[in-house]
Amino acid sequence: MAYPPAARSSPPRQPSVKVILASADVQRVVDRIAHQILEKTQGAADTVLLGIPTRGAPLARRLASRISTFEDVAVPVGVLDITLYRDDLRRHATRAVGPTQVPSGGIDGKRVILVDDVLFSGRTVRAALDALNDVGRPASVQLAVLVDRGHRELPIRADYVGKNIPTSLAESVKVTLVETDGTDEVKLYGGTTS
C-alpha cells in the first residue's frame, strides 16, 4: 500500500513509465525473500506472516506458499488492516475498513513478519505496529517489503527488501499483483527515464 497523500503518489498528466520489475522478476524476488526469511529465522519456526492490505495480503500468502515449498513448513498467514490506526484519518474522507484476520494460533510469543508491497514514509508500518499491539504481544516483529523506495519520515527499516529503488518525491511506485490487478509488475511513474 502506498501510504503518502494522494498528491504525492498520483502520476502526473503525462507520466513517463519505467518497468522496474517484470513478472518473472517479481517471482524471483519473492522466492529470495522466502529464502532469506528461512535463513534469518532458522527455518521459520514460531513465525507468523501478516500482510497489510491491499497488496501485502497476497504477498504474505505467496511467501508462505514458497516457504512451504522450500522447507515444508506451514507458516500461519494473516491479514492486518491498519485503516483505523492511520495518523491521517482526519485529512481524508472516511476510508473503508478492510478485513483483519489473525491466524487461529494468535501472535502472542511468535515472531511476526509484517508484509507490505512498498516501504515509503514508514507511516503504514507505524500504524501496523500500533494495530499489532492491540491484537497481541509478539516476541518480535520484522518487516518484509517488495520495494523500498526511500524517503522515510519515521525511524523504521525493513528486515527483508525485495528491491531498493532510488526515487525522487515527484515519482511514484506502483506495484501490481496477479491476485489484485491481473499482472505481476513494479512500475515507476514520473521523473526521468534514465
Residues in touch with other proteins (CB under 8 A): 81, 83-85, 89-100, 130, 133-136
User: Least CB distance from residue 152 to other proteins, whole Å?
Assistant: 22
**Region of 151 on the Ramachandran plot (φ > 0 left; ψ -120 to 50 alpha; else beta):** left
Which amino acid is it at 48? Answer: V
Closer CB to other proteins, residue 133 or residue 140?
133
Closer CB to other proteins, residue 110 or residue 174?
110
User: Least CB distance from residue 137 to other proteins, whole Å?
Assistant: 9
User: Least CB distance from residue 91 to other proteins, whole Å?
Assistant: 6
Closer CB to other proteins, residue 135 or residue 169?
135
Neighbours of 14 (CB within 10 A): 6
Closer CB to other proteins, residue 81 or residue 185?
81
- Please spell the DSSP secondary structure of 68-89, one letter per residue: HHHH-----EEE---GGG-TTG
User: Least CB distance from residue 141 to other proteins, whole Å?
Assistant: 17
Sign of the CA dihedral running 19, 2, 77, 38: positive
Q: How far apart are CA 144 and CA 121, in angstroms?
A: 15
